[in-house]
A and B are shown apart, each in its own frame.
Chain A
Amino acid sequence: MIDDESSDSRTATGKLPSDRRLDGRRMGERTTSGVRAAIRDELATEPADAETNDQPVIQLDHVSLAFDEPVLEDVSFEARKGETLCIVGESGTGKSTALKLILRLLVPEKGSVCIGGKEITGLSFEEALEIRQQMGMVFQGAALFDSMSVFENVAYPLREHTTMNEDEIEQRVREKLQFVDLEPDKVMEQLPAELSGGMRKRVGIARGMANNAEIMLYDEPTSGLDPLTTGTITRLLLKLQRELGVTSVVVSHDIRSVFRMATRIAVLYEHHIVFFGTPEEMAGSDDEYIRTFLGGS
């Protein structure tokens, strides 16, 4: 079900006109029509600036997994370096499960999962911990440690795995919090329970990015956020992708932001991947389910 040729069509062109769309848009410009125009813009230009090499960074190959009932059946997709792969699909189709397979929080019953060309299904627990350090994950419900302050949450991956000193850690935490539009001085000492849902989500993103992982996984980073913040976060993901060449997998319900940032899209439906290709291909698809999916969002 993988459409292999499709992936290259998008990287042929591809230089970004300027950075204006990343940072240039400030509060005043964030009117609805402005955003809409920007999205049209963005769709017209090529979002990816990826130097795609052939080796997929993330690859799921004919993966099947069942809990009490089958969740994923014969699922294959891949993401190359610098790509942003978006996974869309109805609720409960196994999108979060797919991310957990990539993190090896779950092991498939059949098929293989490769990260950086290395098969991870057979790894020991300790080896899996190593592999996970290359990845940053933003959980659907933020999953902040509620016994720790915001600062300690974002600093956690740094304390665990780097030799950074206190000053460097604080600097990094501030930088990441600013990145997600939070005021470090205001929120750093607060506990997750004292934050709003959207703020928690953004702290979750900051923590996921804290150790500058090369692979970022986002589980519905924008669900439950207002359109402005959604826009900010979408821009932020684009920025990571373009400036740092981060490979991302984004699970999202927000089809607009998917079209803005995806280099390829995978659609999950009834345990299977029913579509895997570029946004253009998706927009031009005749498949009835894809059409209703696009129309219904």
Chain B
Amino acid sequence: MPAAAPAVPSRTPSHWERFVAASKSRVRNVQDYFALAGRGLGFIFVRPFYGQDWVQQMDEIGVKSLGIVLLTGFFTGMVLALQSSVQLQTFGATMYIGRLVSASMIRELGPVLAGLMVAGRVGSGIAAQLGSMRVTEQIDALNTLGTDPIKKLVTPRVLAALVMLPVLTIINDFIGILGGNLISSAMVGVPTSLYWRTVWDQIANDGFTLRVIPIDFVQGITKPFVFGGIISITACYFGLNTTGGTEGVGQSTTRTVVVSSILILIIDYFLTQILLSVLGP
């Protein structure tokens, strides 16, 4: 941007110029996003480690999200059992209800729902916190005091999310399957022992050894790991790039939730496709 007074009288830019400028800034934003992701992840292995911040974020992201994850998981499992029972009854196959519920929970609903819930609860929180740190000059203060804000703020959050999202998802899966158990024994008439046997058949049909890691398990762990990265990096990106005072903080929060939810749903599809083609159905 020229600092001197423009020699040519200023005119309003044409639509094309505006389009070009907007596209350029989009591309730059995406570059910045990946640069942040790279540095945030890279610093996991670089001293100094902010271990205390990491533990605190594990608590913030993981432990404090437990409630909503339990609640959503339980009801999702119950409704899954209810819906499947209707379908299965028409074929007289209600005994397979455990397979259906567990497959849906572990492959899709567990990771995606946990991801969306965490994006709403934790992503917005991170964006709001980093955003207000930005607008109150606390990020500048960190820089001034010789701390790299990415190392101090982003890395512990990303690391905590990478660890905690798979954990939350496993809990979510389990609670969902438990909810399915409740419905199927109370309303569909499938005994608990049969239910859990079919669940186990689904998860570990071919046994569970190091050589044969079941596909459900791989999908069920890979997805939340990726989602954890997406949520935390998106939140940090929008938080750190907040401008425009408290209003800007609100915008960053909204954007974080919208963008990370969309990314979760889109990437879920491609990830499933990749995993299926690599590992077979």
How many inter-chain contacts with C-beta < 8 Å in the A-B complex?
A: 62
Closest CB-CB distance, B160 to chain A, in whole Å?
A: 15
Shortest C-beta distance, B88 to chain A (Å), equals 51
Q: For residue B204, give the distance in angstroms from its CB to the closest CB of chain A.
A: 44
B143–A103 CB distance below 8 A? yes
Digitize B1-27: 1 where CB-to-A-CB distance is under 8 Å, 0 elsewhere: 111100000000000000000000000
State A140–B136 Cα separation when bound (angstroms).
9
Is A288 in contact with chain B by the CB < 8 A criterion?
Answer: no
What's the Cα separation between A137 and B145 when bound, in Å? 8
Is B146 located at the chain interface by the 8 A CB criterion? yes
**B146 A161 Cβ-Cβ under 8 A:** yes
User: For residue B147, which residue of chain A has the nearest CB?
Assistant: A160
A109 touches B1 (CB 8 A): yes
Residues on the B chain within 8 Å of A129, using CB:
143, 146-148
Pairwise interchain contact B1-A140, C-beta atoms closer than 8 A: no
- Does A239 make an interface contact (CB < 8 A)? no
Are A133 and B146 in contact, with the CB atoms below 8 A?
yes
A133 to B142, CA, bound (A): 11
Contact A110 B144, CB 8 Å, known A140-B137, A143-B137, A143-B138: no
**Quick check: is B140 within 8 A (CB to CB) of the other chain?**
yes
In the complex, what's the smallest C-beta–C-beta distance from A61 to chain B, in angstroms? 14
Give A80 to B109 CA distance when docked, in angstroms. Answer: 65
Q: Is the CB of B136 within 8 A of A143?
A: yes
A195 within 8 A of B: no
A164 within 8 A of B: no
Q: A139 near B3 (CB under 8 angstroms)?
A: no
Complex CA–CA separation, A135 to B144 (angstroms): 8
CB pair A105–B1 under 8 Å, yes or no, is no
Determine whether the beta carbon of A100 is less than 8 Å from that of B147. Answer: no
Give which listed residue, A70, A105, A125, A130, contacts B144 with CB less than 8 A: A105
Q: A139 contacts B140, CB within 8 Å?
A: yes
Closest to B148 in A: A129
Q: Is the interface of A mostly helix, strand, loop or mixed?
A: mixed
In the complex, residue of chain B having the shortest beta-carbon distance to the beta carbon of A125: B148
Chain B residue numbers with a CB within 8 Å of A56 are none
Q: Of B3, B142, B144, which one neighbours A66 at CB under 8 angstroms?
A: B3
A139 to B136, CA, bound (A): 9
Mask, B114-156, CB within 8 Å of A = 1, is: 0000000000000000000100111011111111100000000
B50 → chain A closest CB, angstroms: 10
CB distance from A173 to the nearest CB of B (A): 14
**Chain A residues closer than 8 Å to B143, beta-carbon distance:** 103, 105, 129, 132
A14 proximal to B (CB < 8 A): no
Tell me how far the C-beta of A202 lies from the nearest C-beta in chain B, rounded to whole angstroms: 15
In the complex, A155→B211 CA distance in Å? 52
| CB <8 Å contact, B1 and A103 | no
Residues of B within 8 A of A (CB-CB), count:
17
Whether a CB of chain B sits under 8 angstroms from the CB of A170 is no
Contacts of A157 in B (CB 8 A): 145-146
Q: Does A46 contact B (CB under 8 A)?
A: no
- Distance in angstroms between the alpha carbons of A137 and B141 in the assembled complex: 8
Contact with B along A128-147 (1 / 0, CB 8 A): 01101101010111011110
A274 to B216, CA, bound (A): 71
- Cα of A197 to Cα of B146 in the assembled complex, Å: 25
Across-interface contacts of A126 in B (CB, < 8 A): 148
Is A177 an interface position by the 8 A CB rule? no
List residues of B (141-180) whose CB comes within 8 Å of A's CBs.
Answer: 141-148
B1 proximity list for chain A (CB < 8 A): 66, 109
Residues from 201 to 240 in B contacting A, C-beta threshold 8 Å: none
A156: interface (CB < 8 Å): yes
Measured CA separation A137–B144 after assembly (Å) = 7
Q: Which of B3, B136, B146 contacts A130 (CB 8 A)?
A: B146
Set of chain A residues within 8 Å of B3, measured between Cβ atoms? 64-66, 70, 73, 109-110
Beyond A66-B3, A73-B4, whether A143 also contacts B148 by CB under 8 A is no
| Contact across chains for B145 and A141 when beta carbons are under 8 A apart | no
Name which of B1, B141, B148 has the most chain A CB atoms within 10 A of its CB: B141
Partner of B140, one of A130, A133, A143, A156: A143
Q: B residues within 8 A CB of A137?
A: 141, 144
User: CA separation between A283 and B30, bound complex, in Å?
Assistant: 53
Q: How far is the CA of A156 from the CA of B142 in the complex (A)?
A: 9
Q: What residues of chain B lie closer than 8 Å to A135, measured between beta carbons?
A: 144
Chain B residues with CB under 8 Å of A139's CB are: 137, 140-141
- Complex contacts, A133 vs chain B, CB 8 Å: 146
| Contact partners of A141 in chain B: CB under 8 A | 136-137
Interchain CB contact (< 8 A) of B138 among A66, A125, A145, A160: A145
- The answer for the CA separation of A207 and B142 in the assembled complex, in Å, is 12
| 23 A-B pairs in the complex with CB atoms less than 8 angstroms apart | A66-B2, A70-B3, A73-B4, A100-B140, A103-B143, A103-B144, A105-B143, A105-B144, A109-B3, A125-B148, A126-B148, A132-B146, A139-B141, A140-B137, A143-B136, A143-B141, A144-B141, A145-B141, A145-B142, A146-B136, A146-B138, A160-B145, A207-B145
